[in-house]
Amino acid sequence: MRIIYLFNGRLPTEKAHGVQVMRACEGFAKTGAEVTLILPYRRNVLNEDPFDYYQVSHIFDIKKVRGLDFWTPSRLLFHLQNAVSIFWMLKEVWPLKNNSETIFYARDYATLWALSLFGFKPVAEIHDYRLPNPRKYANYVFNQAKMVVANSEGTKEGLLEHYSISPSKIAVASNGVDLDFFNIAETKSEARAKLNIKTTNPIVAYVGRPESAGTQKGLGTFLEAVSTLPGVASYVVGGAKESIQQYQEKYQNVIFTSQVPYKEIPLYLRAIDVVVIPLPLNKHATTTSPIKLFEFMAAGKAIIASNLPSLRTFLNDQNAVFFEPGDAQGLSVMMSRVLGDKGLSESISAQARQSVSNHTWENRAKIIIDYLKWHTSKI
């Protein structure tokens, strides 16, 4: 099988979808598929090879095509940039259009719509579906797609609510993790030394961006909760400077690292004692499949999470501790409980690491490919 993944974006990127695209391609390649990732030229402040930036095995190819690149906040120029990039990507793959052994794969609606319009019958991967109403362009994509991959049951439910898609056409494949990447040799003290973290106090942390597609992810709840904890170091790891500035000004007792290189995340997780996933109860929380969740589990962290169905899919009372979404006081109580009970902390940490063992990117790729073969045989 040959998989051509068309990604109309910038790589590397500080956003989580960059990890997801690169690891997905690596996962497909590990199953034996011949994989080519095609993306347009973009200027990039992260001047590093994507394979090195994400620490991904060089077992698939990346092909860059021409593209426009506007750095001005204009909706018209954004659409023009998309159109030009998609034109050159389609031009690149056109000779393989009728090759029955080639699967065309994409995750953004514009690219999927263009592939569908020109008869490519792509596999459509959809993340965090939260459109308030159905869209004609999305309906066209789903009707023309060879198969739909949803990142969560919540996303699948949203698609079925809005569109006349056969449930058998949708495969649910959550995100995954590279277990080896987070199984580092450094001890907690060694990791803190490498990161120049001088405190000997327990560290509780929020790791990741404070928002996703304009939707807040609960950082405010975390900061309010840790402000009442004595004898604890509080960290926020990640986030663009402009997105965390308002929090820095208000919570000066919290350490904000701003964006850190992806390859340093395992070190930060080793240095941290407790991680918090404080997602609020909103549409994003019902459809998400957070990559960070699997990374926390692989790193063997003590996890405190919002009590949400999307998180409960992977977490339970044996591998995590829960609080009600938005309840900062309840979160503070749970942080005190976990930090004050070494046995509980060690137990949920060990169970988290064990629970995530099957959620690798390669296993995810196998789920998608096996479902694709099964679905294609039924058509």
3-state secondary structure of 235: strand
Q: Note whether 6 and 122 are same-domain residues.
A: yes
Instruction: Decide if pLDDT at 214 tops 90.
Output: no
- The pLDDT, as a whole number, for residue 240 is 87
Q: Note whether 170 and 183 are same-domain residues.
A: no
**Residue 99 structure tokens:** 């090759």
Q: Note whether 209 and 286 are same-domain residues.
A: yes
What pLDDT, in 10s, does the model give residues 113-152?
A: 999 999 999 999 999 998 999 999 999 999 999 999 999 9
Instruction: Decide if pLDDT at 15 tops 80.
Output: yes
Q: Note whether 186 and 172 are same-domain residues.
A: no
Bridge partners, residue 38, by sequence: 6, 63
Domain of residue 320, CATH code: 3.40.50.2000
Q: Note whether 293 and 250 are same-domain residues.
A: yes
Domain housing 107:
2-176+360-378
**What is the rounded CA–CA span in Å between residue 112 and residue 122?**
7
- The pLDDT, as a whole number, for residue 174 is 97
Task: Kindly state the DSSP code that residue 100 receives in the 8-state scheme.
Answer: T
- Cβ-based burial of 338 (10 A; exposed 0-12, middle 13-18, buried ≥19): buried
Instruction: Decide if pLDDT at 72 tops 80.
Output: no
What pLDDT, in 10s, does the model give residues 20-60?
A: 999 999 999 999 999 999 999 998 989 899 999 999 999 99
Q: Note whether 200 and 161 are same-domain residues.
A: no
CB 140 within 8 A of CB 109: no
Mean pLDDT on 366-378: 93
Residue 66 amino acid letter: R
Q: Note whether 29 and 123 are same-domain residues.
A: yes
Q: Note whether 140 and 255 are same-domain residues.
A: no
Q: How many domains does the chain have?
A: 2
Q: Note whether 135 and 218 are same-domain residues.
A: no
Q: Note whether 226 and 130 are same-domain residues.
A: no
- Cβ-based burial of 165 (10 A; exposed 0-12, middle 13-18, buried ≥19): middle
Cα dihedral sign for 358, 361, 362, 365? Answer: positive
Q: Note whether 364 and 342 are same-domain residues.
A: no
Contacts of range 92-95, beta carbons closer than 8 Å, 24 or more positions apart: 92/38, 92/63, 92/65, 93/4, 93/6, 93/38, 93/120
Q: Note whether 316 and 219 are same-domain residues.
A: yes
Phi, psi (5° rounding) for residue 147?
-165, 155
Instruction: Decide if pLDDT at 171 tops 90.
Output: yes
Model pTM greater than 0.85? yes
- The pLDDT, as a whole number, for residue 216 is 85
